[in-house]
Amino acid sequence: AQSVTQLDSQVPVFEEAPVELRCNYSSSVSVYLFWYVQYPNQGLQLLLKYLSGSTLVESINGFEAEFNKSQTSFHLRKPSVHISDTAEYFCAVSSNRDDKIIFGKGTRLHILP
Amino acid sequence: DAGVIQSPRHEVTEMGQEVTLRCKPISGHDYLFWYRQTMMRGLELLIYFNNNVPIDDSGMPEDRFSAKMPNASFSTLKIQPSEPRDSAVYFCASRPGPDRYYGYTFGSGTRLTVV
């Protein structure tokens, strides 16, 4: 069975500071990994995904995540956050053996002025 | 494409009443998923369909919940009778095919309040 652990339920960070949102997964098979973002009162949107190949994946708005197989992690980073990044971020895992995507409980990112 | 469309956006109902939530997936998407989001439990998968057929309903809380997909462009999630603990945001999501790496496209959700 697969599982996802997001280690922080909330992360406060000052505007223009760097941020890292942590995600660890558990799976006995090869995985696909995702980060979704949920802005207030909206549905989830796919931010980026790791399928295979390069372990560093990037989104169009400056976020990046690195797949680390040995540490079973897929942490999300941004070198400089903006107030518009205020949202909840969900890490998720899937595999080629399961139709379902398993979501973590989310990390709420608070941008401080 | 208009994306995944859910209705209503908000629903307030009294305990014991029947509630029906609706979802229109993206055209051509063969998979449809229903999730429930609460502060305590996060995102829970309730049920999912492939080509209109229910594949896994193990997440449906109890017999009060039922879901149907009569055709490729429409699905409903029904709660009868509703209870205050059913209050949550219900999301519908769709995916274009069996390849799990596509990820999902989510609707904007229905916020259900049962009083």
Mean pLDDT (chain A) is 91
- Exposed, middle or buried by CB within 10 Å (0-12, 13-18, 19+), for A9? exposed
Mean pLDDT, each 10-residue run in order, chain B (115 residues): 91 97 95 93 93 94 94 96 96 85 88 97
A84 phi, psi to nearest 5 deg = -70, -10
Cβ(A75)–Cβ(A21) under 8 Å? yes
Q: Contact A99/B101, CB-based, under 8 Å?
A: no
Structure tokens at B75: 């699905």
HEC string of chain B equals CCCCEEECCEEEECCCCCEEEEEECCCCCCEEEEEEEECCCEEEEEEEEECCEEEECCCCCCCCEEEEEEECCEEEEEECCCCHHHCEEEEEEEECCCCHHHCCEECCCEEEEEC
A5 CA: distance to closest CA in chain B (Å): 12
B2 at A interface, C-beta within 8 A: no
Query: Which of B4, B55, B107 minimises the CB distance to A99?
Result: B55
B5 at A interface, C-beta within 8 A: no
pLDDT, average across residues A72-86: 96
Query: How many A-B residue pairs are in contact by the CB < 8 A criterion?
Result: 54
At A54 the pLDDT is 83
Q: Contact A45/B106, CB-based, under 8 Å?
A: yes
Structure tokens at A113: 């002025």
Query: Which of A42, A46, A95 minimises the CB distance to B100?
Result: A95
Structure tokens at B35: 């999730």
B49 at A interface, C-beta within 8 A: no
Chain A residues lying within 8 Å of B108, measured CB to CB: 41-43
Q: Please give the share of chain A, as a percent, with pLDDT higher than 90.
A: 66
